[in-house]
Structure formats: structure tokens, C-alpha cells
Structure 1
Amino acid sequence: MSFQVALSFEDGVTRFVKCGPNETVADASYKARINIPLDCRDGACGTCKALCESGTYDGGDYIEEALTDDEAEQGYCLPCQMTPESDLVLQIATTSDVAKTSAATYTATITDIRRFSDSTVGFSVEIPNRDELVFLPGQYVNITVPGTGQTRSYSFSTGPNDPHLSFLVKITEGGLMSEYLRDRAQVGDTLEFTGPLGSFFLRERTRPALLLAGGTGLAPILAILARMQEQDSDLPVHLIYGASFDQDVVELDKLEEYTRSLPNFTFEYCVSDPATSAANKGYVTSLFEPKHLNDGDVDVYLCGPPPMVEAVRTHFDNEGLTPANFFFEKFNNSATGAAEQAPEPTEAERIAAEKAAAETGLPVSLGSANAVAQDNYEIGEEHPPVTESDAQFDARMALELGALELTIGRLTDAQLVEFRILAEASTASIDHDRFTDAGAFTDTNAAFHEFLFRCCGNPVLLEAYNRLEVTQLMRKVLRTAQWVDEQVPHDHLQIVRAFERKDRAAARDLIVSHAEHAKATMRRAIEDSAKAEIA
């Protein structure tokens, strides 16, 4: 018997492979020409380590150095050794580009257009190769707006096994897709879309679920309900659906059908407009009841505009409640994405760039200076304060590992020289385990760590990095610090050498170990700074 394995990559791309009897996930992936991280194939190195989010499997044989018992307990696995015992969803620690795979592009024909109201349009499409498109309920695709060459992102509102594919679109004045659907779209039109994409999807059901949808954020929730209907589970599922105006409320007939076909499914909806005729006036949080939250033992799935997501988070905080799992996707209903300018290079980066240009005779790019259009999806991070948890340090490391995946093997010779110069500049202010010039180190260290983000040409990544509390605190407390983990300067140089060798595994290991050394340095600096303030 064969099983389906979803490979979810760090850039949001998901690819699916079929595993035959006694076939490892790695073997099936490479047969499908999806080059997931792999080295030894013997369970000895841990290079292929992945996180299993759903399903059961035989973990195979491996040594402790490749996968610890604690990691296995948390759901980590080695694709080179594991054989599926059910369908699986795996998080793969690399991007689809590195794995030499990408989201596929499909040509579709519009088969139905439903103009629910002036504010919402639904449409369905068919593709000739429907069997080739596999997606997780909740994921989205990028649809090219006919005649423009530009894309817009929309979630499936139908389940993965439905023969047709449907979407819900909020009509926005001046929006490319909005104007096309409102004014020109006809049954029989041809569309192209790329996907599936996104990490918002239904996980394995082990507890009650609370589904929250705002406006056309109902689309992925409908896909999730379609999948739930196919599962053999009677776990309670409650949906709270919010809209701004009566005309924005859609698909109530479909939700009523689910109350009859999906065991233990209930729903209610509310409208925030004071003039509404709906029974419930206000916002989704006004309809929360203790039974829906199950004392925190609940999986919450939320798709809606950013204010809704923040309102729900605030409500949980005020109630002192932390859901077992909180999966959310924010989207912005805007006609055009705002353009965001890449941050200006620092002085240390300018100096390094000039030196690199002098050494190589080539111009050095400090990152994209072009405005980058923001996606219609907003991704946010929230972590406990540095004083209470290591989560901030882990988040910083995770962003740096993401930048590694986007840049390893892609830096020009001139950029590699600049990277080395920044590393050497940061080491010049350290003597063993003491700072000789903590202020200079603070500046050069910041330039070193920001460099890869700038090379990505994606200002959103750099913004996320700089927004972390630990990044901001580092620039403050390190300026007066005295002690430094003596491995820090060696780490910087070794990371550069790994990039020069295009050795992804080594660079990844070095960034992880460097994060521990940086954390030790920061913890001491924070402690010393607190003592100095008291004195």
C-alpha cells in the first residue's frame, strides 16, 4: 500500500510524493526529482532531519547523534530512514529552490461565477490535470490576473478531493482581480495559477477545534471543513464567522449543510455594522464561550484581516488563556500592495563594500535598493520577553537560518569578500573573552548579521529581524559589555568559510552553535547592565 507525503518547504511551497511499501521518504522524493537535504542515507548525520506534523511512520534505524530521543519525541524524523504507515505532512528545513523544486503552474478554465453581492464574488475553475494538483486544506495559490501579468493570492474554498476548485474574492475598488471579476470575467475564460503555497492548513485532529473567519477569510475555513467531513472523527468543531456588513456574509447555506453532514459541527456569525439585521451584532470575540475554548485544550484556526487576528490574541491574553495550538493567517484587502524600500546600508557595510570593491575590482551590491511590493499576506511573530524566555534568541536564529537558505551558493565573489571583511572587522574588537572596544563590536557585529538579509533583496526579512526585542536589546547592552564568549569571533570567520565552500550543512551547524555563544554573551551583558543600573 502506498501513502501520500506532503513536503512543506520553508518558502511556503508544498510538494507531494507517493511512498510505496517499505520505501523511505527520501527515496520517494529523489525519484520525484525533489532533492530534499540528504548526505549519508544511513541515519548517521542528521542532515535530512524534518518535523512530522501529521501521520504515523516507522522511524527506521539511526544513531543518537543524528536524532536524539527528545527530538524523536517532539516529532522530528529522518526521511532517509522513515517509512510511512499513513499519509504524512513533513516540514522540510530548506526552501523549494534549494531542493530544485517549485510550485507548479496550472492552466484553468472558469466554469462558474457567483456574484454574491457588490462586495464578494465566488468563482470556480477546472483544470485538465486535476489529479496532479494536490494541496492541503487551507493553502492558497497565486492567480495571474488576465491581461496584467500580475498575481493575486487566494485560498481554495473547496477541499483537496473536490473535482472543481473554488475561490472567494473581496471586491476592492481599484483592485486588479476585483475589476476583472466584476467587469470582464466570463465562464470559459482561461486563468493561470501557481501553487499550492502557504503553511496555514488543517493539522491532525486530536482535540476540539475553534474556527474563526473574517470576511473572505471564510474560504480556507470552508476547505478545512470539507476535509473534516471526510474524516472519521466526532471531535467538536465550532465556527464563528464575522463580517463588516450584511452583504459581506456568504455561503450560509453551505455552512448549514455542514451542521447536518459533519458530526458535532456548529456555527454562528456576527456583523459589526450597527445597522445589521443579523442576530449577533459586533465582533467574533463577543461570541466566545468557555465550551468553545475547552480550558485551552483546543486548536484554533483563524483567517482574517490583521485587526481581527490581533483582537483575538488580545482576548486570549486578557483571559489568561493559551490555546494548545493557534494557527493564523492575516490578509490585507488592498487594491495594490504598498511598496517598501530596503533599509539604507550601515556605515560598517559601506566601508566593507568599498574594501571588497577595491580587492575584486568589481562593484558590490549592498542589497536591493528597489521598492519591493508587499504581499497581501502578513506574517507576524510574537514571543515572550527576553527576560522570561529564550524564544527571542531562537526566533533570531530561525530568521538567520532562513537567510542562509536564500543566499548559500548564490553570493557573488565580491559579496563573499565583503562578508569576510565584515567578519574580520567584528573580530578586531575582541581579545580572547574580553571586548577591547565594545562599541565598535556592536556596530560591526550588527553589520555582519544583517549582511545576508540585505543580500536576499527582501526588506521584509530584515524588518522582521530588526523588530525582534533581542536584536534591539543587543545594540544597547553590548556597548558597555566586557565579557564575550571567546568562540564568537571564530564563529563569524567559520561561517564565512562555509559560505565560500557553499557548504550549507556546515553553515547551518555553525549558525546554530553561534546562536548559543551569542546568547551566553547577551545573557551576561544583560545581567551586568542590570547590576550597573542598581549600583
Structure 2
Amino acid sequence: MTYQVALAFEDGITRFIKVGPRETVADASYKARINIPLDCRDGACGTCKSFCESGKFDGGDYIEEALTDDEAEAGFCLPCQMVPESDLVLQIPTTSDVAKTAASVYESTLTEIRRISETTYAFSLEVDNREELNFLPGQYVNIEVPGSEGQTRSYSFSSGPEVSTVSFLIRITDGGLMSTYMRDVAQVGDRLNFTGPMGSFFLREPKRQSLLLAGGTGLAPLLSILEKLVGMDNAHPVHLIYGVNTDTDLVELDVLENYTARIEGFSFDTVVGDPNSAAAKKGYVTNHFEPQHLAEGDVDIYLCGPPPMVEGVRRHLEGEGIKPQNFYFEKFALAVLPDAAPATEVAAPVEQAEAVVARAVTEYEIGEEHATFQAQFDARMALELAIVELTMGRLTEQQLGEFKILAEIAGKTLDGEKFVNADEFTVTNDAFHEFLFTCVGNEHLLQAYTRLEVPAIMAKVLRQEHWIDGAVDKDHLDIVAAFEQQDITAARTAIIAHNEHAKATMAAASKELNK
């Protein structure tokens, strides 16, 4: 059986490949001329190590030095050995240009333009060679505006991946490039080109209940997600809260109502910011979070809206002490119009964020947050276990000396099971952990480490009076000693033990703060 594998690169580009029976992901990738990182092809070096977001696979044969049991359990894999047993989504630790690939360009025909409210249009495209276009529900494309000399605007699919004609929503703004085209110029039959798909904001395999939050036309990617859920065997509740400025901004309510019948456990609320609205729920979307929506944090949140909305929701959750298991978000910036103020100045203030309406967009910031510090520390451990493979036996005497000095400096901020200076420990501890990543000379691994939020979490939680596991200081020295002795097993053992001691420290500190 042939499976579809999505290769999500660090620069937001996603490429899809077909993998045949008993074929490895790496072989299929190279056949498609997508050169993911690869060296030995035998499961011996770990160069191709990637992370599996979703799906099932046979991990194949490999040695411990290439992929440890802990890494495999955490979801890491070796594309040179893995054989899919379902469709997969893989995070590839490099950029698309390094893999000698890029986002695909598609040609299409405008087949429908509908004005669905005073401020919003829906439009559909029939894509040439539709069978070649694959995307994950929630992703977006850059559409070239006809007659604009190549200028593009970014729009998320509002249709599901399996639908033959792809659809989008657009908020009409005076002077907007795409707005002007759609409102005043566009005709059915026009030809449009777009590039994509892009973005890491997409539906993950449901493992718990989900809360979907939309601001204005930020509804579009969530409609795509809902369409995908129609065909999935999902036993977990899904609730959508859809916020707009005025009653006339509400769109696709009949579509949402239809999903309540097609998706078991799906429900939705609409919230209108206008205090004079006839809507039952007014104000900010956060005013209408119910305990069952958040499930004391056992929830995956998907949010698409402008930056103030994302920040407003994040601050509300922090204020309520709610830490969702996963927080996936897509921020979009307002298009800057001629003779207009910059987008940051025309955006709604944070306190109005939950009701803000999406505008035509020019750029996206996409990300995800994992609430528990355990996930961040485990991710750091996984990266460090990988970096051991690339640095063991390769450090110079000078580098080993510097590594030991960093461990000793961090130790001076501790006194047994107490902090001498918690802030200094956070800084020196980060310098110690980052050191090996600076030695290996791989900017992508270094970027992966620096994107972790471990230092920020520590700075937020640790205080002078807090207890620290006394083994933390010894762990640092044990890791250095393992490198001095070129003992890879001892290094792994020390890193894994250190992760447990660090998490125990953080758990105790978090408990103290929450008293």
C-alpha cells in the first residue's frame, strides 16, 4: 500500500511524497528529488534523524549510536530506515533549500466569487493538476495578485485537503491589493498562480479534546481542520469559539451548523465584540471560556487570529493558571495600505483582541507552545543525546577545558540543595548546555536548541529560596568527565539522569509558586 508523507521543513515549506510498500521515507524522498539530510543510509550515523508528528511506521534497523531508545520513544526516527504503516507528518531538521527543494507553484482558474457578508468574500479555485496539490488542514498558500507585478498575499485554505476545488476567505479592506482585485476586477475564469503549501499550523492527530479559536477570517484554517475531522475516527470533543467585531462580520454559520451534525462531539459559539450586538455572547472570546472547554489543561488549543488575539488568549490562560497540553497558533499581520499607518499601529489593542477581525494578510507567524516544562526539558535532553553523537571524541583539549570551566561556573551559583543566585544559575546553566551545540558547527542544531524555552521557563519559576536537586551540579561534572574519557555510554547516562534531576527541581519550584 502507498502512503502519503508530509515533509515539514524548518522554513515553513511542506513537501509531500508518496512512499510505496516496503520503501523507506529517504528512498522515496530522493526519488522525488528532495534531498533530506542523509549520509550512511544504514541506520548507523543519525544524520537523517527527524521527528514524527503523527502516523505509524516500522522504525527499521539501526544502532544505538544513531538513535537511542529514549529518542525513539519520544518520537524521533531515521527516515533512511523507517517504512510507513500509515500517512505520516515528519519534521525535517533543515531548510527546504538545503534539501534542494522549494514550495511548489500551482496554476488555477477562479471558479467562484461570493460576497458572504458586508466585509467578507469567499472564492474558489480549480487547480490545474489538482492531484499534485497536497496540504495539511490549517496550512496556507501565497496567492499572486493578478496585475500586481508578482505581489502576493497569504491565505489559509478554508476547504479540506480532499476537496477537488480549493476555497479561501478574504476580508475586504479599502485600498487592499487583493481586496481591490476581488471586489472590483475579478471575473470567473481569471487565472491565478499560488505557491505552497506552507506553515506548521495544522491539525495533529487528536489525542484529547480540542478548543478551536478564530478571529474574523481566521476562521478559514479552522474550517479546513473541521472538514478533515469529518472523516476521522475521533472520540474527543471539539469546541469552536468564533469572535468578530460586529454581527455583519459573522460568516459561514450554516457551514458550522452543518458540522455539528457531521462531527460527533462538535459544538461552537459565536462572540461579537460590539456591545450593541443582538448576539447572545458579547465581548471577548476569553470571557466565554467554560471549564469544560479547558479541561484543567488537558486540551489542545488551535488559534488563528491577529497577534493581539494570540497574546490576549495566552495571558488569559496564564492568569487562570491553565496550561494546555498543546497550544498551536497562527498570527497574521494586517496588510499595510498605501498612506496608512504601519500594521502594528492599526492593529486592535490587546484588550480588544478577542473580537478583532482578520484583514488581508501579508505575512504569518506560526508556532506552537507545549505547556508543561517537562516537554521542554525532554526536548533539550533529546537534542543533547543527539549532539553527543556528533561531538564525542572530537572536542579539542581547549574545548574540553572550556566545557569544564562552564560546569564549574554554574556550580558556584549553588550551595548544596540551595541557590546562591538563581538568576545567575539560569544564565550559566544555559551557557553550559549550549556549549556543545556551538562546537559542532551545525547552525540548524544550534537554532533548534536556542528555540527551546528552557531558560525563559527557569527564569520565570526559580527563586533564591527554592530547593534544587543536589545532583544537578554533579551531573554537569559527570557529563564533562564522560567527554574527557570519550565514554559515550557514560555521557548518555549522565544526560538522562540530569534531565530527571532538573525536572524534579522545576516541579518543586512550580509547586511552591502555585501555593
The TM-score, its normalising length taken from structure 2, stands at: 0.71
**Which residue of structure 2 aligns with residue 52 of structure 1?**
52
Aligned partners of 1:389 and 1:259: how far apart in 2? 33
Deviates most, 301-310 or 328-337: 328-337
Query: Which residue number in structure 1 is paired with residue 350 of structure 2?
Result: none
Question: What is the aligned partner in structure 2 of residue 120 from structure 1?
Answer: 120
Taking a change above 3 Å as real, the CA distance of residues 311 and 127 of structure 1, as seen in their structure-2 partners, is: same
Measure how far apart 1:431 and its partner are. Answer: 9.2
Counterpart-to-counterpart distance in 1, 2:157 and 2:327: 20
**Residue 42 of structure 1 corresponds to which residue in structure 2?**
42
User: C-alpha distance in 1, partners of 2:49/2:306?
Assistant: 34
Shift of 1:100: 0.8
Q: Distance in 2 between matches of 1:380 and 1:176?
A: 27
Kept after mapping to 1: 8 A contact 2:335/2:362 = no
Change (3 A) 1:6 1:491: closer
Residue 378 (1) aligns with residue 362 (2): no
Counterpart AA for 2:121:
V
Q: Name the counterpart of 1:533.
A: none
Which structure ranks higher in relative contact order (CA pairs < 8 Å, sequence separation ≥ 6)?
Answer: 2
1:442 aligns to what?
Answer: none
Once residues 200 and 179 of structure 2 are traced to their aligned partners in structure 1, the CA distance between those partners, rounded to angstroms, is: 25
Q: CA deviation at 1:339?
A: 9.8
Tell me the distance in 2 between the aligned counterparts of 1:513 and 1:212: 29
> Partner of 1:143 in structure 2?
143
Measure the CA separation in 2 of the matches of 1:198 and 1:258: 25
Q: CA deviation at 1:102?
A: 0.9
Match of 1:212 in 2: 213
Q: Which residue identity lines up with residue 113 of structure 1 in the other structure? A: I
> Compared with structure 1, are the counterparts of its residues 509 and 274 closer, same or farther at alpha carbon in structure 2 (3 Å cutoff)?
closer
C-alpha separation in 2, matches of 1:512 and 1:302: 23
What letter corresponds to residue 166 of structure 2 in structure 1?
L
Note if contact 2:211-2:240 (Cα within 8 Å) is conserved in structure 1: yes
- CA–CA separation in structure 1 for the residues paired with 2:323 and 2:43: 36
Q: Please say if residues 172 and 335 of structure 1, whose CA atoms lie closer than 8 Å, have aligned partners that are also in contact.
A: no
Change (3 A) 1:23 1:306: same
- The whole-number CA distance in structure 2 between the counterparts of 1:206 and 1:17 is 25
Q: In the TM superposition, what are the counterparts of 1:70-85 in structure 2 within 5 Å?
A: 70-85=70-85
C-alpha distance in 2 between matches for 1:8 and 1:432: 34
The question of whether the paired residues in 2 share the 8 Å contact of 1:174 and 1:335 is answered with no
| 2:365 counterpart letter in structure 1 | E
Tell me the secondary structure at the aligned position of residue 63 of structure 1: coil
User: How do residues 118-197 of structure 1 correspond to structure 2 at under 5 angstroms?
Assistant: 118-148=118-148, 149-197=150-198
1:329 is the counterpart of 2:334: no
- Distance of aligned partners of 1:94 and 1:432 in 2 relative to their CA distance in 1, 3 Å threshold: closer
Deviation at 1:71, TM superposition (A): 0.8
Aligned to 1:18: 18
Q: Is the 8 A contact 1:172 1:334 kept in 2?
A: no
Q: Distance in 1 between matches of 2:116 and 2:195?
A: 26
| 1:440-468 Cα deviation digits (max 9, x unpaired) | xxxxxxxxxxxxxxxxxxxxxxxxxxxxx
- Once residues 272 and 164 of structure 1 are traced to their aligned partners in structure 2, the CA distance between those partners, rounded to angstroms, is 33
| Aligned residue identity for 1:308 | M
1:282 aligns with 2:269: no
Q: Percent identity?
A: 60
RMSD over aligned CA atoms reads 3.9
2:298 paired residue number:
297
Alignment of 1:317-356 (within 5 A): 317-336=318-337
Q: Residues 25 and 80 of structure 1 are in contact (CA less than 8 Å); yes or no, is this contact kept in structure 2?
A: yes
Q: Residue 227 of structure 1: SS of its match in structure 2?
A: helix
How big is each residue's C-alpha offset from its partner over 1:197-252, in whole Å with a ceiling of 9 and x where there is no partner?
Answer: 00000000111111111100000000000000011223211111000111211000
Q: Give the distance between the partners of 2:402 and 2:132, measured in 1 at CA.
A: 59
What is the DSSP-based 3-state SS (H/G/I as helix, E as strand, rest coil) of the residue aligned with 1:258? helix
Compute the displacement of 1:333 (Å): 2.6
Report the CA distance shift for 1:513/1:185 in structure 2 as closer, same or farther (over 3 A). closer
Could you list the structure 1 runs, at least 4 aligned residues long, displaced by more than 3 angstroms after superposition: 335-340, 378-384, 388-391, 430-435, 507-516
Cα distance, 1:48–1:246 mapped onto 2, change above 3 Å: same
Instruction: State the distance in 1 between where 2:90 and 2:427 align.
Output: 39
CA displacement at 1:274 relative to structure 2: 1.1
Q: Give me the whole-angstrom Cα distance separating, in 1, the residues matched to 2:445 and 2:265.
A: 47
Q: 1 CA distance for matches of 2:137 and 2:403? A: 53
| Distance in 2 between residues matched to 1:512 and 1:247, nearest whole Å | 44
Residue 253 (str. 1) matches residue 240 (str. 2): no
| Contact map agreement 1:168 1:219 (CA 8 A) in 2 | yes
Q: Given residue 3 of structure 1, which amino acid in structure 2 is its aligned partner? A: Y
Deviations 1:12-69 (A, max 9, x none): 1111111111111001111111100100011111100010000011111111111111
* One-letter identity of the residue aligned with 2:279: A
In structure 2, how many angstroms separate the alpha carbons of the residues matched to 1:209 and 1:333?
Answer: 27
After TM superposition, give the deviation of residue 432 of structure 1 in Å: 10
1:64-110 deviations in Å (ceiling 9; x for gaps): 11111111111000000110111100000011111111111111111
- Superposed CA deviations along residues 109-139 of structure 1, whole A, max 9, x for unmatched, are 1111011223111100101200000000000
Aligned with 1:159: secondary structure?
A: coil
How far 1:315 moved relative to its partner? 1.5
User: What SS does structure 2 have at the residue aligned with 1:293?
Assistant: helix
Are the aligned partners of 1:176 and 1:335 in contact in 2 as well (CA < 8 Å)?
no
Q: 5+ residue gaps in structure 1?
A: 341-373, 402-426, 436-472, 479-483, 499-503, 529-535
Code of the aligned partner of 1:138: G
TM-score normalized by structure 1? 0.68
Give the number of equivalent residue pairs.
409
Q: Distance in 2 between matches of 1:301 and 1:20?
A: 32
The one-letter amino acid paired with 1:44 is A
CA distance 1:35–1:235, shift in 2 (3 Å): same
Residue 213 of structure 2 contacts residue 241 of structure 2 at CA under 8 Å; is this kept in 1?
Answer: yes
**What's the CA shift for 1:290?**
1.0
Contact between 1:170 and 1:333, CA under 8 Å: does it hold in 2? Answer: no
Amino acid at match of 2:74: Q
User: Take 1:127 and 1:71, find their aligned partners in 2: how far apart are those partners?
Assistant: 40
- Measure how far apart 1:378 and its partner are: 3.2
Structure 1 residue 226 and structure 2 residue 227: aligned? yes
Deviation at 1:510, TM superposition (A): 8.0
Q: Would you say the 8 A contact 2:200–2:366 is kept in 1?
A: no
1:3 aligns with 2:9: no
Closer, same or farther in 2 for the Cα pair 1:390/1:308, shift >3 Å? closer
Unaligned runs of 5+ in 2: 345-360, 388-397, 407-422, 465-515
* Cα pair 2:55 2:87 within 8 Å, conserved: yes
CA distance in 2, matches of 1:491, 1:271: 48
CA gap 1:211/1:514 in 2 versus in 1, 3 angstroms: closer
Residues 379-394 of structure 1: pairs in structure 2 closer than 5 A: 379=366
- Over 3 Å counting, the alpha-carbon distance change for 1:431 and 1:221 in structure 2 is closer
